[in-house]
Amino acid sequence: MIEKKITTTFYQTNKSSLIKEENSLVDLAINSLKSAYAPYSGFMVGAAVLLDNGEIISGNNQENVAYPSGLCAERVAIYYAGAKFPNVKIKKIAISAVSKKFDFTDVISPCGSCRQAIAEYEVKQDKNIKILLHHPNDDIIIVNSVADLLPFMFKSKGLKNF
């Protein structure tokens, strides 16, 4: 047996230190979470996706009493971008969250399903997607690819041969 290690790279900063484009993207994610539909969890998430053509698509989480039927903010935004601009690459996604029921101290990152959805678009466009994770205290974690959050992502190109 051989032990191997995976390392990841991320950047930690504050919202005020971001370049203008990224600061605006985070602002749109924050604004989007305000209209999230989260009557059960009280956990509101907003996402904003910047496309190569300059368009920005935002989304927020949409809950359902049958929990698996809801959808996370990241997938709402990414899937809408893919539907409206199917051949335009995603450059960046900003994600912000807040809870009506509790305080949290960590930056919230995408769930496994959202990580895999982001991975699918990175493979589809053959280009990394920069991810900005925003905390309500304006701390920011930045990764340059979803691979930094999901190192063993499911991405077999061979599946397209079926």
Tell me which residues are annotated as active site.
Answer: 74
Residue 67 above 90 pLDDT?
no
Tokens of residue 86, six digits? 């199917």
Residue 14 above 80 pLDDT?
yes
Mean pLDDT of 29-57: 97
pTM: 0.94
Whole-number percent of the chain with pLDDT over 70: 96
Choosing among 3.40.50.920, 3.40.50.300, 3.40.140.10, 3.30.70.870, the CATH entry for 11-161 is 3.40.140.10
Residue 29 above 60 pLDDT?
yes
Residue 162 above 70 pLDDT?
no
Return d(Cα 162, Cα 159) in angstroms, integer: 6
Mean pLDDT of 4-8: 92
